[in-house]
Amino acid sequence: MGSFAIVPWLLFLFLAPVIMAAAPRKPIDVPFQRNYAPTWAYDHIKYFNGGTEVQLTLDKYTGTGFQSKGSYLFGHFSMRIKMVPGDSAGTVTAFYLSSQNSEHDEIDYEFLGNRTGQPYILQTNVFTGGKGNREQRIYLWFDPTKDFHFYSVLWNMYQIVFFVDDVPIRIFKNSKDLGVRFPFNQPMKIYSSLWNADDWATRGGLEKTDWSKAPFIASYQGFHVDGCEASVSETYCATQGKRWWDQKEFQDLDGLQYRRLQWVRQKYTIYNYCTDRARISTMPPECKRDRDV
């Protein structure tokens, strides 16, 4: 658990140069209602500051969630989230993009709750054509329950990049040339939810949700959407011309970002499906490319 130490000032200096590299800085005062709507258990969502902050509540009866009003084909999407504090074992706070049909594409952040004093685990996953099982897990280099932090996705024809406070923690490159499907033609909605998953979320289901600690609350701000809305047709976005996320500087990470990604991998990664030979006997093709990162 030593890797969970709170960030020293030297780490701030180490990370600071990358802050503007992921995309233009996101506004933090976008009202929830502009781009999102609740999906279930409306009474478990509370609104503050004119709708620029919301809280999701989980109790023993239900969790809750919301989704974007539109569907998007490529872009940059982010949320500022403050995780459930204290004993959150068994809970999952999710932020993800997903298409709608059976062979769906999906880009996942799942924050797995903890027993008090233990670190949160951030699990990411990528589904293409209905196939997932591409989990990676990391510890964060800060306590995500103390303050809001940015969690963002950059998605274009070349790569999917997961960012935490604009620090890249994972990259999934377009490996169509290796026979790996890549999300490129199915618009996705954006979702977030807070729910009980104590059958698997904390230590593989060994730690159960302590309902005496309920209600569990996750807080959200900065409901940023900068994508191509595919409300008319799938081809509308593909033929609109170049957007900022298609430009050359966003087709790959730069050298500084790659160093930050390696730092995350070396210091904070605790599971990578690419190296799990007990579960996946043959290395998936995209992992061979990822190994060269």
**Count of domains forming the chain:** 1
How many CB atoms are closer than 10 A to CB 261?
20
pLDDT digits (tens, 9 = 90+) for 195-254: 999 999 999 999 999 999 999 999 999 999 999 887 645 555 655 557 889 899 999 999
> In Å, how far from its chain's centre is CA 27?
18
Domain that holds residue 87: 34-290
pLDDT for residue 95 is more than 70:
yes
Task: Please check whether residue 97 is in contact with residue 189, taking contact to mean a CB–CB distance below 8 angstroms.
Answer: yes
CATH code of 63's domain? 2.60.120.200
Domain contains 17: no
Whole-number Å distance between alpha carbons of 3 and 254: 26
Whole-model pTM?
Answer: 0.89
Domain contains 152: yes
Q: What pLDDT was estimated at residue 21?
A: 47
Q: Which long-range contacts (CB under 8 A, 24 or more apart) does 252-255 make?
A: 252/158, 252/159, 253/161, 253/168, 253/171, 254/21
Domain contains 19: no
Domain contains 25: no
Domain contains 4: no
Domain contains 16: no
pLDDT digits (tens, 9 = 90+) for 139-151: 999 999 999 999 9
Domain contains 168: yes
Which residues are annotated as catalytic? 106, 110
Domain contains 13: no
What 8-state DSSP symbol labels residue 249?
Answer: G
